[in-house]
Amino acid sequence: MSPTEPAESLRARIRSGDRAAFADLYDRHARAVYNHALRLTGNWSEAEEAMSETFLAAWRTRESVEPEGGSLKPWLLGIATNKAHNANRGLRRRLAFLARSPEPRQVEDFADETAGRIDDARRLAMVHDALCRLRRQDREVIALCVAAGLDYRQAAEALGVPVGTVRSRLSRARARLARISSVPPPGRKAEPPGAHGEMESEAAFAALFLREETR
């Protein structure tokens, strides 16, 4: 597919089951779908699974694509939002099961693995923790509008809600994140010993969502 191919033409090809067009759709949006799922799940493997399930569901429901319209990215991210939510629910069930399971055996220490992976995991956990302080609906809107770069109309299309609902949820999410990332008032106690700056780092990551402007 040419980058200049009209969206309507791509939609028609997807609806008709054109596998080459669907492969091009994957190449164009797989990264965005994965990143969106990663922000919502906070887990690399869960994000990969959600991405795979997103494109599988997209193929199965391709006939639901409207013949006219713009980019199919909102459609894919809408599916990914639901898949990520299901992944989170599944993770909670597995954690509940593990909490009832016997103590696992000790395994080999892998402390020599690269610190970069650990740092990435910490950053991801901070972002996910900041987002998890929002209501689910607000978290999904800010992930779509700010992190994934959708405009209000596209986010509304992805979530199946009115544009006004997107605006109000985004405003509420920004207000909540502003409180998370605000400077502690005078007299607030410092971080407990051993915190190593987690509170400041978490606030900094929350602030990332505030500095972006929705297009």
pLDDT band at 45 (very low <50, low <70, confident <90, very high): confident
Q: What is the 3-state secondary structure (H, E, C) of 122-174?
A: HHHHHHHHHHHCCCHHHHHHHHHHHHCCCCHHHHHHHHCCCHHHHHHHHHHHH
Confidence of residue 69 (pLDDT cuts 50, 70, 90): confident
Confidence band, pLDDT 50/70/90 cuts, at residue 54? very high
Mean pLDDT of the chain: 75
Q: Domain locations in the chain? A: 1-101, 114-185+195-215
pLDDT in tens, 200-215: 444 555 555 554 433 3
Considering the entire predicted model, what is its pTM?
A: 0.68
pLDDT > 70 fraction of the chain, expressed in percent and rounded? 62
What element of type H or E holds 191? Answer: none
Find the range with the poorest average confidence among 45-49, 114-118, 147-151: 114-118
Distance between CA 96 and CA 163 in Å, rounded? 37
Q: Mean pLDDT throughout 57-83?
A: 93
**Same fold: 1-101 with 114-185+195-215:** no
Looking at the domain that runs over 114-185+195-215, which CATH code has it been given?
Answer: 1.10.10.10
Please tell me the distance from the alpha carbon of residue 170 to that of residue 175, in angstroms, as a whole number: 9
Res. 58: pLDDT tops 70: yes
User: What crossing angle do the helices spanning 44-60 and 19-41 adopt, rounded to 10°?
Assistant: 140
| Residue in 185, 108, 165, 172 with CA at minimum distance from that of residue 139 | 172
pLDDT band at 161, cuts 50/70/90? very high
Helix ranges (H only) for 16-113 are 19-41, 44-60, 73-99
Of the two residues 110 and 149, the one the predictor is more confident about is: 149
Q: The CATH number of 1-101 is which of 3.30.930.10, 1.20.140.10, 1.10.1740.10, 3.90.1150.10?
A: 1.10.1740.10
- 92-110 pLDDT, tens digit per residue, is 444 444 444 454 444 444 4
pLDDT of residue 21: 93
